Amino acid sequence: MKSSDRELIVEKKRWRFAEPPDKLRLRCGESLGPIDVAYETYGELSDGGDNAVLICHALTGDAHVAGKHSHDDHKPGWWDIMVGPGKAIDTDRYFVICSNFIGGCKGSTGPSSINPDTGKPYALDFPMVTVKDMVRVQRALVKECLGIDRLLCVIGGSFGGMQVLQWTIDYPEMVYAAMPIATACRLSALAIAFDEVGRQAIYSDPNWKGGDYYGGKPPHRGLAVARMIGHITYLSAESMHEKFGRGLQDRATVGYDFGPADFQVESYLRHQGDTFVQRFDANTYLYITKAMDYFDLVSDYGTLINAFEGVRSRYLVLSFTGDWLFPTHQSREIVRALQANAVDASFCEVESGYGHDVFLIKNPALEDIIINFLKNCQDGIRGAG
């Protein structure tokens, strides 16, 4: 049996910190505590503690990056194609960590969590969390809970890539290598625009009630529309044409009505929206898209070159040709600012007709790059002692 065929059974764990009065002071000025962090780990930490790989998940991801929670679990983690025994991020070789960010809805403290001051869900009383805050919490988990002083590599795509960049800036001594994938040092106006339309869809759902819907009917319509919009931005015209074209959904001719979906692409998006609302909280969607919009290394540090002034990691920045949401020039901008600081940074634009989401899909070129980069990093960290 190949090691990649072995079934990986993982357990979701939870760690609590920032208990009052030692609440965590957030960037927005407010404090939050206690904070629960849902996380999963895979593989074994080496004796030298030099094989830890932290994965930062994207907007709608969670701590469950790979494997299953039980043998009859029907779906594996969100990056199971990449992470596992014998896979590109090989859990026989690396100790992989992934945690749900704060503000999330998959076990970490977020707007749907109970506010200890009121005994009711926070809803919009939840403080605004930023990428910097999320990374601070991840650092606490890595250092205080798991006892790891230095990570071999921090990897993340999209919004996860923003966390990767922040990690290398805020905790340079803790990150030997970094792999920001399909990301940017700040969102473009186009990307902010899509986030705002998604939020507007949620606000306009009468069930949203200013965020105060817990215990009642959640704003599923609004959230589903937000997801549909988001999903379009993760694809590309080419991949949509290939996948759906103008194909009709279970019918020979169009219906000349507003009933069931005419086109396959409509049906697909409806399905995406409907399944998403079963697993995601609308307020988390609002908070996290805001955190993404607010992320801006240029305004935080004056220039991007200044932002990377104190970094000590080696970088591999990756982008994809078909990604129009986080286009390649945004990755190049990051690499050039790193170069200006004489940082060891590599960059590769991987050919793919698929859109932004491509790193979640099987891609031999990407796997090859990740395998080799991680291997070289491990040789490097061991050589450096």
- Catalytic amino acids? 158, 323, 356
d(CA 121, CA 113): 5
Judged by CB, which is closer to another protein: 64, or 93? 93
From the CB of 319, what's the least distance to another protein, in Å? 9
d(CA 219, CA 201): 9
From the CB of 380, what's the least distance to another protein, in Å? 7
d(CA 106, CA 59): 12
User: For residue 325, what are the CA distances in angstroms to 186, 205, 244, 258, 272?
Assistant: 12, 26, 20, 30, 19
From the CB of 159, what's the least distance to another protein, in Å? 23
Residue type, 385: G
User: For residue 77, what are the CA distances in angstroms to 159, 279, 329?
Assistant: 18, 13, 30
Judged by CB, which is closer to another protein: 274, or 368? 368
User: For residue 164, what are the CA distances in angstroms to 138, 203, 210, 236?
Assistant: 11, 30, 32, 25
Nearest to 218 by CA among 112, 100, 102, 61: 112
3-class SS letters over 291-304: HHHHCEHHHHHCCH
Whether the Cβ atoms of residue 122 and residue 113 lie closer than 8 Å to each other: yes
From the CB of 106, what's the least distance to another protein, in Å? 33
From the CB of 101, what's the least distance to another protein, in Å? 29
> 9-38 burial string, b = 16+ CB within 10 Å, else e?
ebeeeebebbeeeeebebbeeeebbebbbb
Identify the bridge partners of residue 121 per DSSP, sorted by sequence position: 114
Indicate the DSSP class of residue 26. Answer: P
Judged by CB, which is closer to another protein: 131, or 337? 337
Residues that bind another protein (CB under 8 A): 314, 316, 332, 335-337, 339-340, 342, 344-351, 365, 368-369, 372-373, 376, 379-380
Judged by CB, which is closer to another protein: 286, or 345? 345
Token digits for 149? 């002083």
From the CB of 52, what's the least distance to another protein, in Å? 20
Angle made by CA atoms 16, 20, 22, in degrees to the nearest 5: 85
Q: Which residues have C-beta within 8 Å of that of residue 340, sequence separation ≥ 6?
A: 305, 308
Judged by CB, which is closer to another protein: 224, or 381? 381
d(CA 150, CA 254): 58
From the CB of 372, what's the least distance to another protein, in Å? 4
Nearest to 51 by CA among 43, 63, 59: 43
Judged by CB, which is closer to another protein: 135, or 366? 366
Angle made by CA atoms 335, 189, 307, in degrees to the nearest 5: 35
From the CB of 317, what's the least distance to another protein, in Å? 9
Judged by CB, which is closer to another protein: 129, or 337? 337
Judged by CB, which is closer to another protein: 264, or 321? 321
